[in-house]
């Protein structure tokens, strides 16, 4: 892999794909592996969705009565997400923020979701993933549940995460009960549904850390 940071203009990505169904990770709903945990496994009422994109996961959480804060680096994506939520009459607090420099006065949260953000930060390089992981404990209330869905490096694209990276990023004493399962991550491009190898991590913010 190159040592040069991987820089993406996400506003441009969302604008350029607006007429063709959105970027590959925008599949019109939550990732299947996360959809499976939305009923019964989410601790509330305050939930944070980091890297929310066009808002499908945040909106699914709001439909279930959670108080949702959702952030993304792309203003274009956030505008799309706000329009979707307004169209359903749902209240979601959307903000444009960089995940490596989050400022969220409403923290801490009872559950935190990361659907495809961490692997993007790993790919971005320049310490972005480390800065993000260092900030997460301060955003999670004691006992909070954190879910991270990420593409595996084993996909063969030259980027992604490993189980070792996930375990190192969510280790004791800050986190406890960390579980990682191998899953399939859904994507869509040119009207084709793709399935990529990935991981779903679940962990809990330690009460005494």
Give the pLDDT score at 138. 97
Helix and strand tally (H, E) in the chain?
7, 7
Whether the CB-CB separation of 76 and 56 falls below 8 Å is answered with: no
Taking every pair of C-alpha atoms in the chain, what is the biggest distance, in angstroms? 49
Q: For the chain, which residues make up each domain, given as ranges?
A: 27-205
Q: What's the pLDDT tens digit per position in 50-75?
A: 999 999 999 999 999 999 999 999 99
Angle at 206 between CA 201 and CA 209, to 5 degrees: 130
Closest CA to 174 of 136, 131, 201, 122: 136
Phi, then psi, of 14 in degrees rounded to 5: -70, -40
Q: What's the pLDDT tens digit per position in 140-156?
A: 999 999 999 999 998 77
Q: Looking at the domain that runs over 27-205, which CATH code has it been given?
A: 3.40.50.150
Give the pLDDT band (50/70/90) at residue 1.
very low
**What does R_g of the chain's alpha carbons equal in angstroms?**
16
Closest CA to 122 of 67, 83, 161: 161
Q: Percent of the chain, pLDDT > 90?
A: 87
| pTM over cut 0.75 | yes
Q: What's the pLDDT tens digit per position in 69-125?
A: 999 999 999 999 999 999 999 999 999 999 999 999 999 999 999 999 999 999 999
- The four Cα atoms 68, 71, 75, 80 give a dihedral, to 10 degrees, of -40
Whether the CB-CB separation of 13 and 20 falls below 8 Å is answered with: no
Characterize the bridge pairing of strands 92-96 and 67-72: parallel
CA end-to-end span of the chain: 35
Give the pLDDT score at 6. 61
Give dist(CA 200, CA 171) in Å, integer: 15
Q: What's the pLDDT tens digit per position in 190-206?
A: 888 999 999 999 999 99
Instruction: Identify the burial level of 44 via C-beta atoms within 10 angstroms of its C-beta, where 0-12 means exposed, 13-18 middle and 19 or more buried.
Output: middle
């Amino acid at each position: 892999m190159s040592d040069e940071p991987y820089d993406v203009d996400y506003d441009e990505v969302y604008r350029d794909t607006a007429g063709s169904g959105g970027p590959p990770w925008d599949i019109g709903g939550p990732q299947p592996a996360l959809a499976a945990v939305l009923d019964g496994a989410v601790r509330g009422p305050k939930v944070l969705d980091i890297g929310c994109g066009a808002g499908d996961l945040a909106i699914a959480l709001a439909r279930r009565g959670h108080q949702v804060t959702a952030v993304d680096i792309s203003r274009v994506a956030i505008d799309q997400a706000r329009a979707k939520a307004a169209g359903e009459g749902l209240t979601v607090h959307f903000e444009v923020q960089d995940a490596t420099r989050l400022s969220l006065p409403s923290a801490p949260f009872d559950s935190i979701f990361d659907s495809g953000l961490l692997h993007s930060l790993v790919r971005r390089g320049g310490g972005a993933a480390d800065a993000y992981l260092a900030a997460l404990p301060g955003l999670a209330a004691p006992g909070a549940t954190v879910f991270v869905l990420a593409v595996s490096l084993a996909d063969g694209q030259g980027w992604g995460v490993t189980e070792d990276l996930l375990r190192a990023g969510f280790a004791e004493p800050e986190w406890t009960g960390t579980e990682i399962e191998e899953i399939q991550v859904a994507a869509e491009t040119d009207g084709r549904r793709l399935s990529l190898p990935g991981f779903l991590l679940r962990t809990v913010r330690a009460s005494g850390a």
